[in-house]
Amino acid sequence: MQSVELLLDPATDAAVRAEWAALSAAGLPSQADHRGETNAPHVSVVVADGFPGEELLAPVAAVLPLPVRLGAPVVFGGRRLVLARLVVVDRPLLDLQAAVVDALTGATDVSPHTVPGRWVPHVTLARGIPADGLATALEALRVERGGVPDLVGEAALLRRWDSDARRAWAV
């Protein structure tokens, strides 16, 4: 799997990591459990099996930083529940995602979740939350944050992630 991701500014990154820590402190799965050096709060912009023409991403990255607002928690179902923060979309963010997809024309097996018009931008907080732990997870976020207010910051950097090589780099 290959992806292009948006990384957050330091303050927003720290706020998301605090939410990861709150989930972990509550005894729940959390992205904080992943200790890899490339593990960081991020928004996946496009995911595919492979990308040609990666050098075409540099002009897209030049529009950064962009304002970003992390909104309400959301749960994605499936075999394992995923708890995330929705990213409130606006025209600049949608334009950036479309430009990334356009720059990577010819990408192979693009995930249907990252096709323009179907993309649900989010920042993952935890994977593998048991259904009976969901209320505890939401309470952990409220306790640490005094409610679950929006987090306002910036999408600061565009990076590439290569899961086969287990490495990431700035575009």
pLDDT tens, the chain, 171 aa long:
889 999 999 999 999 999 999 999 999 999 999 888 889 999 999 998 877 767 788 899 999 999 999 999 999 997 779 999 999 999 999 999 999 988 887 767 788 888 888 999 999 999 999 999 999 999 998 855 566 788 999 999 999 988 888 888 888
- pLDDT score, position 107: 66
Q: How many CB atoms lie within 10 A of CB 41?
A: 23
Q: Is residue 66 part of a domain?
A: yes
Q: Is residue 86 part of a domain?
A: yes
Query: Minimal CA–CA distance to 130: which of 18, 19, 22, 23?
Result: 23
Q: Is residue 76 part of a domain?
A: yes
pTM of the model: 0.91
150: containing domain: 2-163
- pLDDT score, position 147: 65
Q: Is residue 79 part of a domain?
A: yes
CATH of the domain at 88: 3.90.1140.10
Q: Is residue 51 part of a domain?
A: yes
Q: Is residue 94 part of a domain?
A: yes
Structural domains of the chain, count = 1
